[in-house]
Structure 1
Amino acid sequence: MKNLVILGAGTSGTMMANHLVKKLPKKDWKISIVDQCETHYYQPGFLFLPFDIYTSKQVKKNGKKFIPKAVDYINEKIERIVPEENNVQLANGKVLAYDILIIATGTDIAPEEVEGMKGPKWHENIFDFYTYKGAKALRNKLREWEGGKLVVHITEMPIKCPVAPLEFAFLADSYFKNKGMRDKVDITFVTPLGGAFTKPRATAALHHLLEEKGISEVTDFAIERVDYKNNKIIDYADTEVEYDLLVTVPTNMGDSVIERSGLGDDLNFVPTNKATLQSLNHENIFAIGDATNLPASKAGSVAHFEAEILTENIVRYIEGIPLKEEFDGHANCFVETGNGKALLIDFNYTHEPVEGTFPFPGVGPLQLLKESHANHMGKMAFRWIYWNMLIKGIHIPFVSATMSEKGKHFEEEVQ
């Protein structure tokens, strides 16, 4: 019997376990999945937790309940991957041999990469919301915060869900309006990018929303350090931004096991073929989701599209036929803009977000790159879709893994 091992039981790993258990013959293949964390988090919910839109129970569940019974679930820390020997060493001393390895170890924040960020004020007046612990601590802070200078800051790219920091700024505007204290809060959005987002058309639309909501914007800010004693962030050009409350997105890095195994780049992301999801260095290793170095968004929708394509490529690899070079970087993201509205963006490696309709050309019902309540409802519905369809490997109707050009106004890109 041959062994397929999946490292990581987050979004990507759980989806792959559910996809592959239906595709690989049980008499020939044993599928194992390894993760040290028993809790499965709905990470998009971390954005809503600080504003009391979601409760703690709505963003976490026991991860084992989403792993198929036919898959061997191993709750243990991964010590090292040894590709030369085709095995994985676990912290308890056990060694897992594999014929195929899927790396789905994700990414995590590394606030220690910036001087002063993870200092004595961490989770006092300096917060992240990319972890459950950080989002919950920030929720408790916002409940009693009386106002001042709120700075929403991105350290460097790439990060999980590139629009989430903008969404946080928009939701903060809405949150403080609803509390009747918006006039007591000065919101500033600070980014290392030249604009609000990575794509020009979306940047223009999002910049307009920042202006409309009275949110200041500081661009091209390459942070050097956090001066937590004087409540300032300082960049390499000595630009200073003062804060009373700093909500930061620290450097995002791949899992440390990738570094220990010598399989990653400088940020511990796995060099991966951007079309097939096969490792560039080991033909029987594949990577998916946030663990890869792909020039695509690190977002749940991307992992979902990757999983459908990778499943087929795993079967092709086993059968000894050429892999499909099919993944096009497709990302489909709702951008919460506050006050019960959201934008929807749909893009890939080659096409930036444009206006149009989704998922049905000319019909919608969702509008691309335009604020609407329907888009907000789509964002809210996604939590149900996530727990009941997405991580269970169930195809979402009418949404293809590759980006459709139908119903989109690409001609406007060149005007």
Structure 2
Amino acid sequence: MKRLVILGAGTAGTMMANHLRPKLKKTEWEITIVDQEETHYYQPGFLFLPFDLYTEEQVKKDGRDFIPKGVKYVQQSIDKILPEEKKVVLQKNEITYDLLIIATGSRISPEEVEGMLDDNWYKSVFDFYTFEGALALRDKLRDWEGGKLVVHITEMPIKCPVAPLEFTFLADSYFQKKGMREKVDITYVTPLSGAFTKEVCSSKLGYLLEEKNVNLETDFAIERIDNECKKIIDYAEREIDFDLLVTVPTNMGDQCIERSGFGDDLNFVPTDPRTLQSKVHPDIFVIGDATNVPASKAGSVAHFEAETLTDNILRYIDGEPLKEEFDGHANCFIETGHNKALLIDFNYEQEPVEGTFPFANVGPLKLLKESTFNHWGKLAFRWIYWNMLLKGIPIPFVGRNMSLKGKKINKNYSYGNSISRS
């Protein structure tokens, strides 16, 4: 009996368990999935919790309900991986493997910035990338009387790169509905040279910040937080005052990767961007936020990766060459407030394009344009997540690789073959 071990029962790990269990003979392969958490969180829902748009119950479920029958579930923390010994050291014991899938995700690391985890943490300084942070921020916003709201990104990469902008747009809508928008000064602070992570989005969608009266501070590399004076300060000593700071701390890979000694500076696993095989050892594959591939750290990417990785696991077992096919495909809804949203579609080579999705010239979703229909699509994704995506059920008409049919390609925003296939 051979052993396939999956580390992490979040979005990516759970999908892989559901994809692979029906395809690997139970008499030949034992599949084990390891995670330290009982609860599975719908992380895109954390964006809506602070504004009372989702309830706590809508964003969390028992993770074991999504693990397929025939997969062994181990609830323990992971100490480290020993690739040469094909062994994983857990909190209480060790397990060996023939194949390993690392799906340990990423986490916020507020301790990386001086002063971020000071006495004001969850008092006037908040995150919304954790369940606890989103709830604490919800309670704060319910009674907050206004002032200087600063929405801040520490550094890239981060999970769901558009989420901080979505938070900013939803905050504008939230305070308008409460009749207190004039009491709130909103500033968006980013280490990038534009508001959006993609150049084409900054070019075509920058009007949204001006339209919503949001101040923009770019190229801000934070050094520290002065909690006494309530300022964020960058390495050039530029200062921005706040009454309420909503920050996205540094995102890092799981600490078990650091203890294993093969992660990059942020503990992400070196991974072939086309095959999703690790560069650490041939028997190790990586998926989702745990990789260092230059794709968006978003749920849609993990979904598309899972389809390629499933094929490649089966090919690897059969001794066949791996498919070098993953193209970094991502599509993301961007909430813009007032029941509207944008949709962007892109990959390694192509920045977000205009056009329709998923059908050429028909849609019904519009790319790079605000619409109520896109907002409904964003809300519908929660049902799709719990009932299809986690269970490995294909989403109709949405392919793993980006289709250019019905899309307007601007060569000024196309990278060409920029990702090596080797």
- TM-score band (shorter)? over 0.9
Compute the displacement of 1:206 (Å): 3.1
Match in the other structure for 1:124: 123
Letter of the 1:159 partner, please give it: I
Q: Does 1:331 align with 2:311?
A: no
AA aligned to 2:25 is P
Q: 1:300 & 1:413 partners in 2: Cα distance? A: 27
- Indicate whether 1:188 and 2:202 are aligned: no
SS of structure 1 residue aligned to 2:379: helix
Is contact 1:196-1:206 (8 Å) kept? Answer: no
Residue 205 of structure 1 and its aligned partner are, at CA, apart by 3.0
Task: Give the aligned partner of residue 26 of structure 1.
Answer: 26
Q: In the alignment, which residue of structure 1 is the partner of 2:289? A: 290
Q: CA deviation at 1:393?
A: 0.4
Counterpart in the other structure of 1:273? 272
Name the counterpart of 1:98: 97
Contact kept, 8 Å, 1:202 with 1:354, in 2: the verdict is: no
Aligned to 1:78: 78
CA distance in 1, matches of 2:221, 2:126: 19
Deviation at 1:135, TM superposition (A): 0.3
> What amino acid does structure 1 have at the position aligned with 2:309?
L
Q: Secondary structure at the match of 2:328?
A: coil
1:85 is aligned with what amino acid?
E
CA contact (8 A) 2:200 2:413 kept: no
Alignment length, in residue pairs?
A: 414
Q: Would the aligned equivalents of 1:354 and 1:413 in 2 still touch at CA under 8 Å?
A: no
Which AA in structure 1 matches 2:304?
Answer: F
- Separation of aligned partners in 2, 1:242 and 1:95: 49
Report the secondary structure of 1:72's partner residue: strand
Q: What is the alpha-carbon root mean square deviation over aligned residues?
A: 0.9
Q: Which amino acid aligns with 1:215?
A: V
**Amino acid paired to 1:37:** E
Give me the whole-angstrom Cα distance separating, in 2, the residues matched to 1:90 and 1:256.
13
Are the counterparts in 1 of residues 51 and 138 from structure 2 also a CA contact under 8 Å? yes
Counterpart residue type for residue 30 of structure 2: K
Task: Tell me the distance in 1 between the aligned counterparts of 2:159 and 2:76.
Answer: 24
The aligned counterpart of 2:347 is 348
Matched position secondary structure for 1:80: strand
Report the equivalent of 2:69. Answer: 69
* Unaligned segments of structure 2, at least 5 residues: 415-422
1:365-404 alignment runs, 5 A limit: 365-404=364-403
Residue-by-residue CA offset, 1:17-71 (whole Å, 9 max, x unaligned): 0000011111100000000000000000000000000000000000000001200
Secondary structure in 2 aligned to 1:23? coil
Which residue is 2:13 aligned to?
13
- Structure 1: 5+ residue runs without aligned partners? none
1:261 aligns with 260
SS at match of 1:267: coil
> Aligned-pair distance for 1:400?
0.3
Contact 2:353–2:410, Cα closer than 8 Å, also in 1: no
2:229 maps to: 230
Cα distance, 1:412 vs. partner? 6.6
Is the 8 Å Cα contact of residues 301 and 333 (structure 1) preserved in structure 2?
A: yes
- Alpha-carbon distance change, 414 to 60 in structure 1, aligned in 2, over 3 angstroms: closer
Q: Hey, what does 2:305 align to over in structure 1?
A: 306
For normalisation by structure 2, the TM-score amounts to: 0.97
Q: TM-score, normalising length from structure 1?
A: 0.99
Q: What is the CA-CA distance between 1:336 and the residue it aligns to?
A: 0.3
The residue number in structure 2 matching 1:173 is 172
Is contact 2:199-2:413 (8 Å) kept? no
Cα separation, 1, equivalents of 2:331 and 2:261:
32
Structure 1 position 197, deviation (Å)? 1.5
Query: What is the letter of the counterpart of residue 29 of structure 1?
Result: W
AA partner of residue 210 (structure 1):
L
Q: Distance in 1 between matches of 2:44 and 2:413?
A: 33
Displacement of 1:411 in angstroms is 3.7
Structure 2 CA distance for aligned equivalents of residues 205 and 243 of structure 1 = 29
* One-letter identity of the residue aligned with 2:44: P
State the match for 2:60 in structure 1. Answer: 60
Aligned to 2:114: 115
Distance 1:316 1:153, change over 3 A: same
1:82, distance to aligned residue in structure 2 (A)? 0.7
Q: Does residue 1:43 correspond to 2:9, yes or no?
A: no
State the AA in 2 paired with 1:242: D
Separation in 1, partners of 2:25, 2:379: 37
Match of 1:152, as an amino acid?
Answer: V
Structure 2 Cα separation of the partners of residues 207 and 194 of structure 1: 12
User: Deviation at 1:281?
Assistant: 2.0
* Residue equivalent to 1:409: 408
CA contact (8 A) 1:160 1:252 kept: yes
